[in-house]
Amino acid sequence: MMAPRRPVVAAGLGLGALAAVVGAAPVVAAPTTTIAASASAPASAAQGPVALTTRSSGAPVNPSAATLSVRSQAGRRVAASGRIGMPSGLSLSAGCSGRVSVTLRSNGQVIGSRAAAVRRSAGACRWSATITLPSSTPAGAQVSVTGRFGGNSYLRAKSTPARSITVQA
């Protein structure tokens, strides 16, 4: 019968002493080297690069929003734009990267698509794309437009709400 597990607090003990407290075989560790920072080097250089994390696990978080605005233009063109909202605690410089895939559908069939880069502009993460529809798309046809932010190292992927427009001649 095994004894119940108890937390072990062993501050300041070496690996051999810790193994004795836990009851396991002693572990032989390779010697480590310590690099001291010189007086001329800044303190941050001695620590190495610091990663920005949005949670304690460092995993990507959900964007606060993904918007889509669509307008039909003359010449069978569709202009789509939108924003990616940053959650609190995440800076624009960290989260404003990635791509948004814009897809146009008519009667359930994909008739056009384009990828747009997310960029930092006017204090927000914005994207925009202009898509020319094929000449086989008749004027007056209803087109559904959707966008999908692919995510980045700080933000998860998120879809925009679908919008519907009428094709102009």
CATH number at residue 148: 2.60.40.10
pTM given for the model? 0.63
Give the residue numbers spanning the domain of 119: 65-166
Distance CA(154)–CA(79), nearest Å, equals: 28
pLDDT at 11: 47
Token readout for 127 is 């994207």
Token readout for 121 is 């502009």
Q: Residue 36: inside a domain, yes or no? A: no
pLDDT at 3: 55
> What is the DSSP code (8-state) at residue 137?
S
Q: How many domains does the chain have?
A: 1
Instruction: Note whether 37 and 45 are within 8 A (CB).
Output: yes
Residue 21's identity, in one-letter code, is V
Q: Residue 135: inside a domain, yes or no? A: yes
Q: Residue 162: inside a domain, yes or no? A: yes
List the pLDDT tens digit at each of the 169 positions of the chain: 555 554 444 445 454 544 444 454 544 444 444 444 444 444 444 444 433 444 455 778 888 899 999 999 888 899 999 999 998 888 888 889 999 999 999 999 999 999 999 999 888 899 999 999 998 888 888 999 999 999 999 999 999 999 999 988 7
